[in-house]
Amino acid sequence: MTTTSDTNDTTNLPAFPPVRPASCPFDPPAEFAEWREQDGLKRVEWNGNTVWAVSRYHDIKTALADPRVSADTSGKLIQEFPGGFPVFPRMDDPEHNRIRRMLTKDFTVKRVQAMRPRIQEMVDIALTEMIDKGAPADLVHDFALPVPSLIISLLLGVPYEDHEFFQEHSNVMLDMQASREQHDAATTALFMYLMELIERKEKDPTEGLISRVLHEHVLAGDLERFHLAANCVLLLEAGHETTANMIALSTLYLLHNPEALARLRATDDPKVIAKACEELLRYLTIVTSLVDRIAAEDVEIGGQLIRAGEGMILNLPAGNRDSAFFDDPDTFDIDRDNHGHIAFGYGSHQCIGQILARAEMEIAIPTLLRRLPQLRLDVPLESVDLRHGMGVFGVHSMPVTW
Amino acid sequence: MKVSVESDKCVAAGHCVLAAAEVFDQNEDDGVVIVLNDDPDPEQYDAVRQAAQLCPAAVIRLTER
C-alpha cells in the first residue's frame, strides 16, 4: 500500500475525470466500471493532486456521512479563494450547518412550489425569444443558460436590469478555457457587485435571499457582510451551471431516445415528469469532480485505509451506475424506483438547491419538448461541443433546429 | 412506530416532506424538520421508512415494535 510520501509521482496514474467518448456522451467513462469492480478506490490525478477516486455507491455514502471526512479543502486540494473568502460548502459541521441554515428558508419544498408559476413564466419568455429569433439556435445560450440564471437572480434578489452583467461574469467564472486571472477577475467583480448590492439593500430592503439574510442575520451579528457576498457568488454559480447543463444534456439525451422523448412530450402527469427528471439526474450525473474531500483523521473506506491529509474524489457518476444498489443500472428507465440516487450528493452537504433544480427541470424540459415538436440537433452528435474534463459535465453549446 | 428527529443535525433538504407530507413538514424560519405526527398510521409506514432512508443527514429515528 502506498503512503502519502511516495504519491507525488503522478506520471502513471489515470487523470480524473477520464474523457467520455464523443459517440456516447451519456454514459460515464468506461473506466469507472473497472474501478468499481476492482478495488472500489483508485489512485488518480486530479487538479494537480493525487487523490483516491471512490467509485462504489455504498463507499461514497459512507465517506460523505463520516465526520472525519472534511469538506474544507481550500488551500489543500483546491486553490484558496481570492481573499480567502469562506463559503459554507467548504466548511465542516457545526459551522457549515449554522450558515447553511441561514440560507435554507428560500429553498424549501413550499417556497419552491410557490416559485413554480414564475419559473414557468421565465421558461415561456426564453422560449418565445428563441423561437422568434428563428432556427437554428444554440440551446445552451438561448435557453438552458438564461432560464436558471434568471431564476437564481430572482431568488437572490438581483435586480433584473443587472442580469446581463451578472451573466457575463458568471460565464467567465464557469469557463474552463478562461485563465486564472480572468476567473479571479470575474469572481472579484461579482463579489464587489454583491457587496454594493448588500449596501443598497440595507437602506432599501427588498424581496429575495440577499436582503433577508442581511436583515435577519448580518445586521443581527450572526454573519459577516463579506461572508454573505461570498456565499451568494457561490449560490449564483452553483445555481446555474448545474441546472443549465442538466437541461441541455437531458434534451440531447432525449433526442437520442425517441421512446422516452415521446412519453415525456405526451404526458401531463406530474408524477411521470418528476420520475423522468429523477432518472435523467441519475443516468446523466453531471457532477463529476466537484465533491472532493480530505481525511481529517485516518479513516477506512471500503476496506482501504485513508490516512489523515489524503484527498478523495467522490465519484458520483460511477456510484449512480453501481449494480450493488440499482438493478440494470445502465438502462434508462423512467419507471424504475431510483430513490436514493446520489446525483445531488449525500451527507449534510447534499445540494441545497436540489428542490429548485428539480422544479426547473420539470418545467423547462417538457415545455421545450411540447412547444417544439420538431426539435432536433442541427449537427451530428459527435461534433457537439461537450464539457470534457470539467467539474460539471454537459455541453458548451448545442445547435438545434425545429 | 414512533418517529423522532435529531433536529440539530437537520440540513433542511426536504426529502422527508416529499416522501411523507402527512408526517413531516419544514419550519418557516429555516426549513428544519417538524414532526407533524410522531405516531403515524400503518398505511404511512412505508413512506416514513423511505423518508428515514433518504434523509441525507440521517436524523430520522424510527422505533418499530
Pairwise CA distance, residues A147 & A158, whole Å: 14
CB within 8 Å: B11 and A346: no
Is the Cα dihedral A119, A125, A131, A137 positive or negative? Answer: negative
Pairwise CA distance, residues A79 & A125, whole Å: 38
pLDDT at A176: 61
Pairwise CA distance, residues A104 & A353, whole Å: 9
What's the ipTM? 0.97
pLDDT at A9: 53
- CA closest to A337 among chain B residues: B50
Contacts with A339 from chain B: Cβ below 8 Å: 50, 53-54
Is the Cα dihedral A68, A324, A77, B11 positive or negative? Answer: negative
Contacts with B30 from chain A: Cβ below 8 Å: 101-102, 104-105
Which of A295, A294, A309, A233 minimizes the C-alpha distance to A81?
A233
Is A102 part of any domain?
A: yes
CB within 8 Å: A101 and B54: no
Is A1 part of any domain?
A: no
Cβ atoms of A114 and A215 within 8 Å: the answer is no
Is A2 part of any domain?
A: no
CB within 8 Å: A350 and B26: no
CB within 8 Å: A104 and B11: yes
Interface of B with A (CB under 8 A): 9, 11-14, 17-18, 26, 28-32, 50, 53-54, 56-58
Who's near A396: CB < 8 A, 6+ residues apart?
A140, A385, A386, A387
pLDDT at A3: 44
In chain B the first and final C-alpha atoms are separated, in Å, by: 6
Who's near A385: CB < 8 A, 6+ residues apart?
A395, A396, A397
CB within 8 Å: A350 and B12: no
pLDDT at A19: 86
Cβ atoms of A210 and A201 within 8 Å: the answer is yes
- The residue whose grid cell reads 474524489 is A313
pLDDT at A100: 98
Pairwise CA distance, residues B48 & A131, whole Å: 45
CA angle centred on A301, ends A296 and A305, rounded to 5°? 70
Is A314 part of any domain?
A: yes
Using DSSP's 3-state secondary structure scheme, residue A10 falls into coil
Question: How many domains does chain A divide into?
Answer: 1
Q: How far is B44 from chain A (nearest CA, A)?
A: 17
For B30-63, what is each residue's pLDDT tens digit?
999 999 999 999 999 999 999 999 999 999 999 9
Is A3 part of any domain?
A: no
Is A67 part of any domain?
A: yes
Which of A190, A224, A218 minimizes the C-alpha distance to A202?
A218
Name the pairing type of β-strands A49-54 and A311-314.
parallel
Q: Domain range holding A337? A: 8-401
Cβ atoms of A365 and A250 within 8 Å: the answer is yes
Pairwise CA distance, residues B56 & A345, whole Å: 9
Contacts with A105 from chain B: Cβ below 8 Å: 28-31
Per-residue pLDDT tens listing for chain A (402 residues): 444 444 455 568 999 999 888 778 999 999 999 999 998 899 999 988 999 999 999 999 999 999 999 999 988 888 776 666 779 999 999 999 999 999 999 999 999 999 999 999 999 999 999 999 999 999 999 999 989 988 998 999 998 788 788 878 877 876 666 788 888 898 889 999 999 999 999 999 999 999 999 999 999 999 999 999 999 989 988 888 899 999 999 999 999 999 999 999 999 999 999 999 999 999 999 999 889 999 999 999 999 999 999 999 999 999 999 999 999 999 999 999 999 999 999 999 999 999 999 999 999 999 999 999 999 999 999 999 998 888 899 999 999 999
Pairwise CA distance, residues A210 & A216, whole Å: 10
Domains in chain B, start-ordered, CATH in brackets?
2-63 (3.30.70.20)
User: How far is Cα of residue A101 from the mean position of the Cα atoms in its chain?
Assistant: 20
User: Which residues lie across from A300 on neighbouring strands?
Assistant: A305
C-alpha cell at A97: 450547518
Q: Which phi and psi angles does A318 have, rounded to 5°?
A: -70, -45
CB within 8 Å: A340 and B17: no
Question: Taking the CA of residue A49 as centre, how many other CA atoms within 13 Å lie in the half-sphere pointing to its CB?
Answer: 21
- The residue whose grid cell reads 453501481 is A322
Cβ atoms of B13 and A350 within 8 Å: the answer is yes
pLDDT at A140: 94
CB within 8 Å: A104 and B28: no
C-alpha cell at A31: 473506466
* CA distance readout (Å), A251 to A174, A248, A261, A280, A338: 21, 5, 9, 10, 20
Cβ atoms of B6 and B51 within 8 Å: the answer is no
Q: How far is B23 from chain A (nearest CA, A)?
A: 14
Which of A283, A246, A280, A242 minimizes the C-alpha distance to A261?
A280
Cβ atoms of A208 and A271 within 8 Å: the answer is no
pLDDT at A22: 78
Q: How far is B49 from chain A (nearest CA, A)?
A: 12
pLDDT at B32: 98
Is A109 part of any domain?
A: yes
CB within 8 Å: B11 and A100: yes
Question: Taking the CA of residue A82 as centre, how many other CA atoms within 13 Å lie in the half-sphere pointing to its CB?
Answer: 18
Interface of A with B (CB under 8 A): 65, 93, 97, 100-102, 104-105, 107-110, 339-340, 345-350, 352, 354-355
Torsion, CA A149, CA A151, CA A156, CA A159, rounded to 10: 80
Is A178 part of any domain?
A: yes
CATH number for the domain that contains residue A283:
1.10.630.10
For A75-99, the DSSP string reads TTTBPPPGGG---GGGS-TTHHHHH
CB within 8 Å: B58 and A109: no
Least CB–CB distance from A108: residue in B31, B50, B53: B31
